[in-house]
Structure 1
Amino acid sequence: MALDVQASPLFVAGDLPPVSVVNPGGASPFLFIGDHAGNVIPLSLGTLGLDDAERVRHIAWDIGVAGLGERLATAMDAVFVRQTYSRLVVDCNRRHDAPDAIAPVSDGTVVPGNADLSDTDRAARFAAIHEPYQAAIAAEIARRSAVGQPTVLIALHSFTPVFGGVARPWQIGVLHDGGDPSFAQAMLAVLRREADLTVGDNEPYRMDLIDYTVPRHAYPAGLPYAELEVRQDLIADTAGQAAWAERLERVLTAALG
């Protein structure tokens, strides 16, 4: 997807486009999206005041999702729409007015570059990153609809194994709420047949009014969907991503029926 990053005051020469589409035109009914797939920070924002270690932690992105989504797109001839920039710059799975859309603190880490932002600063981040990403998803759904290609929207996320000092027992969770949750429920049923898995139903997070992307695109159109949360230690490297892509290809296909 070609976007002119220089049209935004947030970006300078050398910045990457805010969204990329992997395997455009893929024939699969599955449309994969990655709200937090990237951890890049626009050059004009420096490091947001964070050191290298903080910028690769779970606070900055969904670890493993980029590689997992790309493998699924290749294996299933599916489209994967993925975000480039860190959720600390702007969270593409939040509404414009959400308090944590540009978080000043995340999991105990203060983000100096997000302190005391003006309304203009906040609007620039949304216009440069959030809106093009959401527009790319809408455009892909519209393209598919125009040619009679069905869409099952699959949001790929990952979660940290320990949060707030508490270990999380699930390997994967399936999130769902409004709209048509039938596919998410079918995913749960198939995953629960995997003897080696502890599967979360709206765990470790619950899909609710905090979520933005799936409710925006799936609910009004009645699209089947699932928001998947895979534990980050399982997909942190290429071997784990390959194994989980193979598993999810099988589970997704079985759930579709």
Structure 2
Amino acid sequence: MTYQPFFTEGADRPTRWLVTCDHAANTVPPFVNGGSLGLDPADMARHIAYDPGAAGVARALARALDAPCILSNFSRLVIDPNRGEDDPTLVMKLYDGTIIPANRHVGPADIEQRLNALYRPYHSALAQLAARQDDTIIVSIHSFTRQLQGRPPRPWHIGVLYATDERLTRPLINRMAQEPDICVGENEPYGGHLPGDAIARHGIAYQRLNALIELRNDLIVTEDQQTAWARRLAPMLVEAAGHAGVGSETVSPQSG
């Protein structure tokens, strides 16, 4: 089977929603160091290589919202599609205490190859999906580890990230805060904006409603957990969109 840098599902689904998953896979394409970054399989299964559980949530959420979904098919350690092209962390050489052997001596030509083969095709496809509707709403699904090495445990179950546009995220955070069993982080565990990141490129630049959702990865290990979170998030997103001035009748979630 020919390698593909991304996958899309439901491109013909009709609603304004678009679900993205920038760190869906830990795949290392064959042309990158023979298909290996020189890491142990255990490291490639960690959060440093991709966002565990995020792809399953993204697919289930897209079904629930009757929306298209786009998922990357390359490890964030190969090249990170949620960074600007000039970001110094675009290709990581050290992440959470782990040295990335295949990236230690990566040069401009190697990075350009990865940009052309992986990063740019993903963003081109994302841009086309986002442009299919006049009022696209982008929801980007990520996951985070409960504890980084040498750091205290993170208390949040879910984080909602944003830059300056709070039209969707503010009502979404307020809605989540009503749930007694959810500890929600506002711009936690990360800040909500990096220049040139995926939301900046496809959401903020076009004044599209957007939210980046981070789920703690130990809560979305199984397919059942991923589906349950997606089904829980879908009506919250619809309600938040209603508060943002998007008629809920146009974004009513479907059964997942």
TM-score (norm 2): 0.90
- What is the alpha-carbon distance in structure 1 between the residues aligned to residue 185 and residue 45 of structure 2? 25
The Cα shift of 1:135 comes to 0.7
Indicate the SS of the match to 1:163. Answer: coil
Structure-2 separation of matches of 1:36 and 1:221: 22
Aligned counterpart in structure 2 of residue 93 of structure 1, from 82, 96, 101: 82
Q: What are the Cα deviations for residues 211-247 of structure 1, in whole angstroms up to 9, with x where unaligned? A: 6000111112111111100000011111210110111
Q: Runs of 4 or more off by more than 2 Å in structure 1?
A: 208-211
Q: CA RMSD in A?
A: 1.3
2:85, 2:196 within 8 Å by CA — same for their partners in 1?
no
Distance 1:25 1:204 in 2: 34
Match for residue 192 of structure 1 among 150, 155, 177: 177
Alignment deviations for residues 131-155 of structure 1 (CA, whole Å, 9 cap, x no partner): 111111111122223xxxx311111
Query: Structure 1 CA distance, aligned partners of 2:157 and 2:70?
Result: 24
Query: Tell me, which stretches of 5 or more residues in structure 1 are unaligned?
Result: 1-13
Match for residue 52 of structure 2 among 63, 67, 86: 63
> Contact 1:20–1:81 (CA<8 Å) still a contact in 2?
yes
User: Do the aligned residues in 1 keep the contact of 2:83 with 2:194 (CA within 8 Å)?
Assistant: no
- What is the deviation of 1:254? 1.6
Match of 2:16 in 1: 29
Q: TM-score, normalised by structure 1?
A: 0.89
Q: Structure 1 residues 239, 193: CA separation in 2 closer, same or farther (over 3 Å shift)?
A: same
CA distance in 2, matches of 1:105, 1:15: 30
Take 1:169 and 1:86, find their aligned partners in 2: how far apart are those partners? 26
Counterparts of 1:252 and 1:204 in 2: how far apart (Å)? 20
Matched, 1:167 2:150: no
Shift of 1:15: 4.7
TM-fit CA distance, 1:209: 2.6
**Cα separation, 1, equivalents of 2:240 and 2:42:** 38
What one-letter code is carried by the residue in structure 1 that aligns with 2:172? Answer: M
Matched residues, number: 239
CA–CA distance in structure 2, aligned partners of residues 22 and 171 of structure 1: 27
Amino acid in the other structure paired with 1:100: T
Residue type of the alignment partner of 1:29: R
Q: Larger RCO: Structure 1 or Structure 2 (Cα < 8 Å, ≥ 6 residues apart)?
A: 2
User: Which SS does the other structure have where 1:66 is aligned?
Assistant: helix
